[in-house]
Amino acid sequence: MQLYNLKHNQEEVNFETAVKLGLGQQQGLFFPVKLPVFKPIELLKILEMDFITRSTEILSKFIHHEISKKQLYKNVQKAFSFTHPLKVKITQNIDCLELFHGPTLAFKDFGARFMAQMIMLMNRNHETVTILTATSGDTGAAVAHAFYKMKNVRVIILYPKGKISILQEKLFCTLGQNIKTISINGSFDDCQKLVKEAFNDKKLKESIGLNSANSINISRLLAQICYYFEAFSLMSEKQRKNLVIAVPCGNFGNLTAGLLSKTLGLPIKAFIACTNANDTVPRFLSSGIWNPNKTISTISNAMDISQPNNWARIEELFHRKKWNLKELRFGSVSDSTTKNALKELFELGYISEPHAAIAYQLLKNQLKKEEFGLFLGTAHPAKFKNTVEEILNTQLELPDALESRMHLPLLSYNINPDFQKLKKFLIEK
Ligand X SMILES: *Cc1c(COP(=O)(O)O)cnc(C)c1O
Query: Residue 326 to residues 265, 282, 288, 314, 423: CA-CA distances in angstroms?
Result: 20, 11, 10, 13, 48
Instruction: Give min distance, CB of 116 to ligand X, in A.
Output: 17
Shortest distance in whole angstroms from residue 40 CB to ligand X: 29
**Residue 219 binds to ligand X (criterion: CB under 6 A):** no
106 touching ligand X, by CB under 6 A: yes
Q: How far is the CB of 293 from ligand X (least distance, A)?
A: 18
Bridge partners (DSSP) listed for residue 271: 245
Tell me how many residues contact ligand X (CB under 6 A): 15
Smaller CB separation from ligand X, 248 or 373: 248
Closest distance of CB 108 from ligand X, Å: 6
Selected range binding ligand X among 41-49, 168-176, 245-253, 335-343, rule: CB under 6 A: 245-253
Strands 30-32 and 2-5 turn out to be antiparallel
By CB under 6 A, name the one of 61, 108, 145, 313 that touches ligand X.
108
Residues of span 2-31 touching ligand X by CB under 6 A: none
Distance CA 71, CA 73 (A): 5
* Window 158-197: residues binding ligand X (CB under 6 A): none
Asked if residues 242 and 269 have their Cβ atoms less than 8 Å apart, the reply is: yes
373 within 8 A of 367, measured Cβ to Cβ = yes
51-63 helix and 218-233 helix, angle to the nearest 10 degrees: 140
Rounded to whole angstroms, the Cα distance separating 2 from 193 reads: 30
User: 65-95 burial, b if ≥16 CB within 10 A, otherwise e?
Assistant: ebbeeeebbebbeebbeeebbbbeebeebbb
Among 95, 109, 138, 169, binds ligand X (CB under 6 A): 138
Alpha helices in 157-288 (DSSP H): 166-172, 188-200, 202-208, 218-233, 237-241, 253-263, 280-287
- Rounded-to-integer distance, Cα 270 and Cα 276, Å: 20
The contact mask relative to ligand X for 284-303 (x = CB under 6 A, - = no) is ------------------xx
What does the per-residue mask of binding to ligand X show for 358-397, with x meaning CB under 6 A? Answer: --------------------xx------------------
Closer CB to ligand X, residue 21 or residue 302?
302
CA of 79: how far to CAs of 109, 110, 332, in Å? Answer: 8, 7, 33
Task: Give me the least distance between CB of 139 and ligand X, in Å please.
Answer: 7
Of residues 219 and 251, the one with the C-beta less far from ligand X: 251
Which DSSP state fits 124? T
Q: How far is the CB of 407 from ligand X (least distance, A)?
A: 25
Task: State which residue, 62 or 100, has the beta carbon closest to ligand X.
Answer: 100
Stretch that binds ligand X, among 4-12, 244-252, 334-342, 389-397 (CB under 6 A): 244-252
Interatomic CA distance for residues 296 and 306, integer angstroms: 8
Minimum Å gap between C-beta 307 and ligand X is: 12
CB closer to ligand X out of 329 and 355: 355
The answer to whether the CB of 131 falls within 8 A of the CB of 156 is yes
Q: Is 95 in the site for ligand X (CB under 6 A)?
A: no
State the Cα–Cα distance between residues 252 and 255, nearest whole angstrom. 5
Question: Least distance in Å: CB of 270 to ligand X?
Answer: 17
Rounded Cα–Cα distance for residues 339 and 388 (Å): 9
Interface mask toward ligand X for 246-265; x: CB under 6 A? --xxxxxxx-----------
Q: Mask of contacts with ligand X, 331-360, x by CB under 6 A? A: ------------------------x-----
Nearer to ligand X, 93 or 298 (CB): 298
Listed in sequence order, the residues at least 6 apart from 378 whose beta carbon sits closer than 8 Å to its beta carbon are 99, 100, 106, 107, 248, 254, 302, 355, 356
CB of 34 to ligand X, least distance (A): 23
57 or 373: whose CB is closer to ligand X? Answer: 373
According to CB under 6 A, which residues from 62 to 81 bind ligand X? none
Q: Which stretches of 251-349 are assigned E, i.e. beta strand? A: 270-275, 329-332
350-364 as b/e, with b when 16 or more CB fall inside 10 Å?
A: bebbbbbbbbbbbbb
Applying CB under 6 A, the residues found at the interface with ligand X are: 106, 108, 138, 248-254, 302-303, 355, 378-379
